[in-house]
Chains A and B, each alone.
Chain A
Amino acid sequence: MSPHSLSRRDFLTTGAGGILAAAALDRPADGAEPKVLRVRAYTNYEILDPAYHLGAPESDVMDALFVGLVSLQPGTTWGWERDAAVAIEQADPTHIKFQLRPGIPWTNGFGEVSAEDVKFSYERMADPANKSPYRGDWAKLAGVDVTGPHSGVIVLKEPFIPLWSSTLPQSSGLIVCKKAVGRLDGKRFALDPPATCGPYRIRKVEPRLSITLERNPLWPGPRLPFDEIHAVAILDANAAEIAFEAGQVDVTHVPMTSVPRLEAKPPANAGLVVRPGLTYWWLGMQMETGVFADARVRKAAQLALDVKSVLDGAFFGVAPRSTGIIAPGLVGHRERNLVGGPDLERARKLLAEAGHPKGFKTEIGVRNSAEFINAAQVVAASLARVGIQAEVVPFASGVQKAMASDKAGGWKKMQMHISRFSMRPDPSWATVWFTSAQIGEWNWERFSSAEYDRLHEQALAETDPAKRHAMYVRMQDLMEESGAYTFLTHGVNAVLHRSHLKPALTPDANRMLLRKFQIA
């Protein structure tokens, strides 16, 4: 053996030593093991700007990097708690006064969080010129009056009830640094915020893979239990479960179809949280052209569909049937559907009246993922009983939206589709997508009702909960009466976590409130 040769033992010793040395460098100065929370995201991290982010996992990370006036309360009931605001009150239906806690510094030497930052953040989002996808959250904002370095008044053009549930405590209520963001091109950023103020700051970003957060040494608030948060994007649900079992992540969402198995035999040292979701799934029919332009055909499809089979087949019976687009517990939730169980005789009769006594061929467009494709296959089997031969067409993410927006008429190819929309705890977040203004955007059924549009606008400002409830119930009735909708489920969200963790989740378990996680 030459003096420079390396035996297998030498190699292993040197390698292990190197790994240990690297690990030691990674430890806090006091020599203790860093407490790390490792979370899995089901989408890639692409944008951490509250005005332009793309999905809930990004909101989870943004919550750890920024503060809002208020933040969401974890638990099983929807609520908010003060965050950067030491005081906040609704002075009247259109004025919200706030007082910021002084001494919350921005990183990178941008001073401290001020009322000017609040004004900049909310007005930036509301300004149509900035084209924030979340400008609807601030649609009624007239402006923010700054009354002192740390105080101000949010002024609304008219009462806006969703403000306290789906705007202020959510990502749309997060505050960004005016001095830092204002000097950026386009006043926006992606994965590189120029200044943050939350309890954590970014240590490392691997685009589309992971984000590592570490304690923000400037954070003046209480010390949180974790030194670091490792957020890893694992798109495939099976891979996420394997990563959990291999100890690579501590907390992950799991698909609905995994719930029965995990409940029956949970992994060692793990807990499972299953909560009813707010999202809504439905079968929609494009009612402007093609075979479904005939209301009798749409109603026949409604009557032919066996929703229970769809839920059993696609979601393993874990998710109950929905009665609309507004989930139980929210204002506007309907008690029951107008169309009950399947009625094949009536469906066949309607098809015969519409000139399709032997049925017809059509397509069901779905997102290219197992849950959607499974649901569509059961729907197809259900419709086949009355002669409607439906082929399932999986689309890549975004393709259906592009078709719906196609001004050259690509939307005409969309006949049936199964969709799921995300939701916040205010009914307006569900109904807004089905207004006439959304035709060519998110209203893929091209459902148009003047009464619906009027009720949607009125309900945004209606302060009487009973009247507001009746308005949203009527809107869902109108949707179902059109025949273009069969409501399927709100689903459930399931979170698998290490038993030494006490996860902080929203009541629907869709969001992980990372800075509120505790050690059990």
Chain B
Amino acid sequence: MPAAASLPAARQAGGRAAARRLLREPFGAVGLGLVVLVTAGALLADVVSPTDPLALDIRARLQAPSIGHPLGTDHLGRDLFARVLHGGRVALEVALVSVGLALVGGLALGTVAGYGPPWLDHALVLLFDTVRSFPTIMFALALVTVLGGSLASIVLIVVVTSIPVYGRIARTQTQSLRTYEFILAARALGAGAPRVLAGHVVPNVIGPLLILASMEIPVVVTIEAGLSFLGVGIRPPTPSWGSILNDGYAFIRETPWPVVAGGLPLAVTTLGFTFLGEALRDVFDPRLRREA
């Protein structure tokens, strides 16, 4: 079976080439490095900083960075380094879960809209447009007022507001694919709609959506931080970058370190995922590659 054996090998070779191209892009390498840094910090928070992020030491409040507290302490004497690492865990949890769910939901609805009958397409597009017509932050604040601030509420907000974004792209891609010969051939061989979608459409649509998802992650992280900053996101005392920033702002005249500690990971995460997303787009988007 030489042909079958060569397919994974070809894919592997393509993957290695893409990785090389990604790492050759200066922004791509920096972005990947920052993303790895943030992700590793969140995943290994307990190892990197064994200090309990909730432990109070009021006598040691608002301390500047030191060996014991690499980012200093907040107004309740909690170790800011530990809180930033655990806050990263919350941020990435929200981002990955909500972006993942939004991607799956948008992919499913978008491909159905693009492949299905016109009435279903119209109905789903109307639904997408209706949801997108609400300003995200206003919608988020309204939903949080009704449901109360929590991790689940934030995930729900992001999923509901992001599904139309993925859905619209998936729909457009599907509509352009449905007249391709390999789709027509599959249908001629008797493949039903679910099989055509799952086996032929989704693999060809997923690429751009994954790139979009990587660029959506910093947006979601800032939404979570923004809601927590406003006091309607993650509930205290659970650490969140937004609440660290908010706490720091209240005591900015005493010390700037809590604001630095809350702002730095937000900046690093946003830059990292944005650089990475743009580099991925440049690597995988054939049109851009041709232009280059």
Given contacts A238-B253, A313-B76, contact A391 B145 (CB under 8 A): no
Q: How far is the CA of A258 from the CA of B254 in the complex (A)?
A: 9
Q: Does B27 contact A (CB under 8 A)?
A: no
Q: Does A373 contact B (CB under 8 A)?
A: yes
A77-85, A96-104, A329-337, A374-382: which lies at the interface? A374-382
With beta carbons under 8 angstroms apart, the residue of A238, A261, A368, A381 that contacts B250 is A238
Q: Does A87 contact B (CB under 8 A)?
A: no
Cross-chain contact A394 with B76 (CB below 8 angstroms): no
Q: How far is the CB of B62 from chain A (nearest CB, A)?
A: 10
Q: Does B56 contact A (CB under 8 A)?
A: yes
Cross-chain contact A238 with B252 (CB below 8 angstroms): yes
Most chain B CB inside 10 Å of its own CB: which residue of A241, A374, A394: A394
- The A367-392 residues at the B interface (CB cut-off 8 A) are 368, 370, 373-374, 376-378, 380-381, 384, 391-392
Cross-chain contact B249 with A238 (CB below 8 angstroms): yes
Cross-chain contact A241 with B253 (CB below 8 angstroms): yes
Cross-chain contact A392 with B236 (CB below 8 angstroms): yes
Cross-chain contact A396 with B56 (CB below 8 angstroms): no
Cross-chain contact A381 with B149 (CB below 8 angstroms): no
Q: How far is the CA of A241 from the CA of B251 in the complex (A)?
A: 12
Q: Does B14 contact A (CB under 8 A)?
A: no
With beta carbons under 8 angstroms apart, the residue of A241, A261, A373, A384 that contacts B236 is A373
Q: How far is the CB of B143 from chain A (nearest CB, A)?
A: 14
Q: How far is the CA of A237 from the CA of B249 in the complex (A)?
A: 11
Cross-chain contact B76 with A374 (CB below 8 angstroms): yes
Q: How far is the CA of A128 from the CA of B251 in the complex (A)?
A: 45
Cross-chain contact B231 with A261 (CB below 8 angstroms): no
With beta carbons under 8 angstroms apart, the residue of B55, B231, B235, B250 that contacts A257 is B250
Cross-chain contact A312 with B58 (CB below 8 angstroms): yes
Cross-chain contact B237 with A394 (CB below 8 angstroms): no
Interface string of A211-248 (1 = CB under 8 A from B): 00000000000000000000000000110010000000
Given contacts A238-B250, A241-B253, A393-B149, contact A381 B236 (CB under 8 A): no
Q: Which residues of A contact B231 (CB under 8 A)?
A: 368, 373, 394
Cross-chain contact B235 with A393 (CB below 8 angstroms): yes
Cross-chain contact A394 with B250 (CB below 8 angstroms): no
Q: Which residues of A contact B236 (CB under 8 A)?
A: 373, 376-377, 380, 391-392, 394
Q: How far is the CB of A365 from chain B (nearest CB, A)?
A: 10
Q: Does A130 contact B (CB under 8 A)?
A: no
Q: Does B89 contact A (CB under 8 A)?
A: no
Q: Which residues of A contact B55 (CB under 8 A)?
A: 381
Cross-chain contact A392 with B253 (CB below 8 angstroms): no
Q: Which residues of B contact A392 (CB under 8 A)?
A: 235-237
Most chain A CB inside 10 Å of its own CB: which residue of B76, B236, B238, B246: B236
Q: Does B148 contact A (CB under 8 A)?
A: yes
Cross-chain contact B54 with A381 (CB below 8 angstroms): yes
Q: How far is the CA of A238 from the CA of B231 in the complex (A)?
A: 17
Q: Which residues of A contact B58 (CB under 8 A)?
A: 309, 312-313, 378
Interface string of A83-116 (1 = CB under 8 A from B): 0000000000000000000000000000000000
Given contacts A261-B254, A377-B237, A381-B237, contact A394 B56 (CB under 8 A): no
- The B239-263 residues at the A interface (CB cut-off 8 A) are 246-247, 249-254
Q: How far is the CB of B154 from chain A (nearest CB, A)?
A: 15
Q: Who on chain A is nearest to B249 by CB?
A: A238
Q: Which residues of A contact B61 (CB under 8 A)?
A: 313
Cross-chain contact B56 with A381 (CB below 8 angstroms): yes
Q: How far is the CB of A387 from chain B (nearest CB, A)?
A: 15
Q: Who on chain B is nearest to A392 by CB?
A: B236
Cross-chain contact B56 with A313 (CB below 8 angstroms): yes
Cross-chain contact B148 with A393 (CB below 8 angstroms): yes
Q: Which residues of B contact A378 (CB under 8 A)?
A: 56, 58, 76
Cross-chain contact A257 with B237 (CB below 8 angstroms): no
Q: How far is the CB of A169 from chain B (nearest CB, A)?
A: 35
Interface string of B118-157 (1 = CB under 8 A from A): 0000000000000000000000000001001100000000
Q: Which residues of A contact B56 (CB under 8 A)?
A: 309, 313, 377-378, 381
Q: Who on chain A is nearest to B57 by CB?
A: A313
Q: How far is the CB of B60 from chain A (nearest CB, A)?
A: 12
Q: How far is the CA of A373 from the CA of B251 in the complex (A)?
A: 14
Q: How far is the CA of A156 from the CA of B99 in the complex (A)?
A: 67
Q: How far is the CA of A440 from the CA of B162 in the complex (A)?
A: 41
Q: How far is the CB of B137 from chain A (nearest CB, A)?
A: 16
Cross-chain contact A258 with B253 (CB below 8 angstroms): yes
A-B contact pairs, 13 of them (CB 8 A): A238-B250, A257-B250, A313-B75, A368-B231, A378-B58, A380-B237, A381-B55, A391-B236, A391-B238, A392-B235, A393-B148, A393-B235, A396-B145
Q: Report which A residues bind B (CB closer than 8 A).
A: 237-238, 241, 257-258, 261, 309, 312-313, 368, 370, 373-374, 376-378, 380-381, 384, 391-394, 396
For the complex of A and B, 7 pairs with smallest distance between CB atoms: A392-B236, A368-B231, A370-B250, A394-B231, A377-B237, A313-B58, A312-B58
